[in-house]
């Protein structure tokens, strides 16, 4: 009996230490700071959970619509080591040629929810009220418990890099002069983006999600980056925006633009 109690105490101590050893804030060697679970909640502002993960009486975890965040221990059990996985993705991209300067100062908030609710979007029927990822200037926000948070991360990272490298902050895609404008023009032409669609930020944001140039770009980036990190082409069904998965020419453009190859 005493042995069992001692064992239970030791087990509890080990679990507690194991839970603590997974840092919830990771200062990535590649530039960004990655906040997970309650540390991300403290940073993310007005976003609230739409669906969260809860522990049932039998000990299993499941998703439920709720207004409360998943506790840290349950979030870590549902998606173990997410901060480390996201950091490793950044490491693979930098190793392959991505300039770490483009990642400097980026903050990533991986929230303890399965889906997120975005306050203030209720009045706009074209704008989604529920999201698995959100991009703000210099910040990537994720539903960290979403079934494929890694892919969502790559999509939102695509928005961040479009802002940094192509100057598209605020869905801003018009032409102009300079290297960033040239890259925007190149990408839109390569992708055959319809020329009758206005490219200023307000008009772009008013389009349905899958028709925005920035979403085409972010989906292309996620597809390309997943291919470059894993060495395998992602499932075409995972591609969500208007034009369908990128072809060889588009993938080669991403290589040139972000890995500096053949430039
Ligand atoms: Zn997006």
How would residue 263 be classed by pLDDT, with cut points 50, 70 and 90? very low
How would residue 128 be classed by pLDDT, with cut points 50, 70 and 90? low
Residue 88 sits in which domain range? 22-259
The C-alpha atoms of residue 155 and residue 158 are separated, in whole angstroms, by 5
- Residue 32, in any domain of the structure: yes
Least confident of 22-26, 118-122, 166-170: 118-122
Report which secondary-structure segment, H or E, holds 120. Answer: none
Does 118 score more than 50 pLDDT?
Answer: yes
- In angstroms, what is the span from residue 32 Cα to ligand 1's centroid? 19
- In angstroms, what is the span from residue 157 Cα to ligand 1's centroid? 9
The C-alpha atoms of residue 5 and residue 23 are separated, in whole angstroms, by 29
- In angstroms, what is the span from residue 131 Cα to ligand 1's centroid? 10
Looking from the CA of 188 toward its CB, the CA atoms found within 13 Å total 24
- Residue 193, in any domain of the structure: yes
User: Counting Cβ atoms within 10 Å, is residue 179 exposed (0-12), middle (13-18) or buried (19+)?
Assistant: exposed
The C-alpha atoms of residue 60 and residue 54 are separated, in whole angstroms, by 8
Does 163 score more than 70 pLDDT?
Answer: yes
Compute the C-alpha angle 158/159/165, nearest 5°. 80
Provide the 10 A C-beta neighbour count for residue 232.
Answer: 8
Q: What's the distance, Cα to Cα, between the start and end of the chain in Å?
A: 71
- In angstroms, what is the span from residue 5 Cα to ligand 1's centroid? 51
Count the domains in the chain. Answer: 1
Does 231 score more than 50 pLDDT?
Answer: yes
Give the rounded percent of residues in the chain with a pLDDT score beyond 70. Answer: 87
- In angstroms, what is the span from residue 3 Cα to ligand 1's centroid? 55
- Residue 148, in any domain of the structure: yes
- Residue 165, in any domain of the structure: yes
- Residue 37, in any domain of the structure: yes
pTM: 0.88
Phi, psi dihedral angles at 196 (to 5 degrees): -85, 0
* Tens digits of residue pLDDT in 17-36: 544 445 689 999 999 999 99
Which pLDDT score, from 0 to 100, does residue 120 have?
65
- In angstroms, what is the span from residue 18 Cα to ligand 1's centroid? 35
Which pLDDT score, from 0 to 100, does residue 242 have?
76
């Amino acid at each position: 009996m005493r042995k069992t109690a001692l064992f239970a105490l030791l087990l509890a101590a080990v679990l507690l230490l194991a839970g603590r050893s997974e840092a919830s804030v990771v200062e990535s060697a590649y530039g960004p700071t990655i906040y997970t679970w309650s540390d991300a909640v403290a940073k993310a502002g007005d976003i609230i959970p739409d669906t969260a993960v809860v522990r049932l009486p039998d000990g299993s975890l499941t998703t439920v619509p709720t207004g409360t965040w998943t506790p840290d221990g349950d979030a870590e059990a549902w998606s173990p080591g997410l901060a480390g996985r996201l950091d490793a993705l950044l490491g693979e991209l930098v190793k392959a040629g991505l300039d770490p300067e483009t990642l400097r100062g980026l903050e990533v908030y991986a929230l303890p929810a399965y889906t997120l609710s975005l306050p203030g979007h209720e009045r706009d029927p074209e704008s989604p009220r529920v999201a698995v990822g959100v991009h703000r200037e210099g910040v990537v926000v994720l539903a960290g418990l979403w079934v494929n948070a890694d892919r969502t991360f790559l999509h939102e990272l695509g928005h961040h890099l479009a802002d940094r490298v192509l100057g598209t902050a605020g869905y801003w895609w018009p032409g102009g002069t300079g290297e960033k404008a040239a890259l925007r023009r190149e990408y839109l032409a390569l992708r055959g983006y319809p020329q009758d669609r206005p490219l200023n930020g307000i008009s772009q944001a008013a389009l349905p999600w899958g028709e925005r140039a920035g979403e085409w770009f972010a989906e292309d980036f996620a597809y390309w980056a997943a291919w470059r990190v894993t060495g395998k082409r992602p499932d075409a069904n995972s591609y969500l925006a208007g034009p369908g998965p990128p072809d060889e020419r588009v993938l080669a453009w991403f290589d040139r633009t972000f890995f500096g190859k053949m430039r």
